[in-house]
Amino acid sequence: MCEVLAPLVVQLRHLDEAIAWLDRSIAKLAQKDETARRLMSIPGFGPITASAMAATIQDASSFAGPREFAAFLGLTPKQNYSGGKTKLGRISKMGNQNLRKLLVVGAHSVLFHRKLHAGALCIWAKKLIEKKPFKLVAVALANKMARIAFAILRGKTTYREIPAWRGVGFAAHQAARESKVAKR
């Protein structure tokens, strides 16, 4: 039996080596690309996701806003109208399937390692995962990551993780900060 499977084992080793070489090559290219480097500042974005998004989205201004961008990726819920009321359903899954998969895998990574981080994004995910199933939260987080990526692509900025303050909500902290700036 081992003699029969030995050629397959050799092929698998060669495939593993080829995949490792491709991963290293993509990582080097992502470090050279300014857009990919900015996208890699987002939690859950690695070199492959950042490179794929940078290559796919050449001009973020072609989207009206972050919701339209997330819809392009198939990460927004379908809207059903009945009797003047809007109900949100499952995600549409219409759009770029490869980027959507990469974002959901990145969201899984963020959720698995959420205990190591204390940023506002991880705090939001921790609160949501207490009430909702893991995979639903992963897709919701992927949607949020897509919207952050849109802001980074459009604004030519990097992701800055906002710490989650204890006792003071972010909006109250932001208002206090703005009033200090206005007094100057």
Q: Give the pLDDT of residue 166.
A: 47
State the pLDDT at residue 150.
93
Closest CA to 96 of 131, 127, 142: 142
Residues near 121 by beta carbon (within 8 Å), at least 6 away in sequence: 43, 110, 141, 144, 148, 161
Q: Domain spans of the chain? A: 1-32, 33-61+101-183
pLDDT along the chain (184 residues), means of 10: 86 96 94 92 91 90 88 81 71 79 93 78 85 91 92 85 55 56 53
* Residue 79 Cα to chain centre, angstroms: 22
pLDDT for 52 equals: 93
Q: Do residues 138 and 51 make contact, with C-beta atoms less than 8 angstroms apart?
A: no
